[in-house]
Amino acid sequence: MQPTVIINQHRNTAIVVATSGKKLLVIKLGKGKLTVTSLSSQEIKDQGYAANDYSPKLAAQSYLQHGAGVSERARKYLERIAGSELSDRFLFT
């Protein structure tokens, strides 16, 4: 799965970074330390998130600079995305 930036009606952003079984691994931008959360596609939709065409690479670079810090697990995903040559196309709908 290709990383995808998602955004909801409150302008909250997150990056879908991987899949784990039927769940999606998501890093939500927030006030606290950034962590990886496991959510189903339905849970993401229920929270009002939808795919956005913002570059996952640029979002990951920004998330790595988060003032409250980034968990080690989230950092690994974000560094992989920030340093990748992935297309900026989104796949999550």
Answer whether residue 89 shows pLDDT above 80: no
Give the pLDDT band (50/70/90) at residue 84: confident
Task: Summarize the confidence of residues 27-54 as an average pLDDT.
Answer: 95
pTM: 0.86
Place of tokens 């998130």: 49
The DSSP code sequence of 22-35 is TEEEEEE--SS-B-
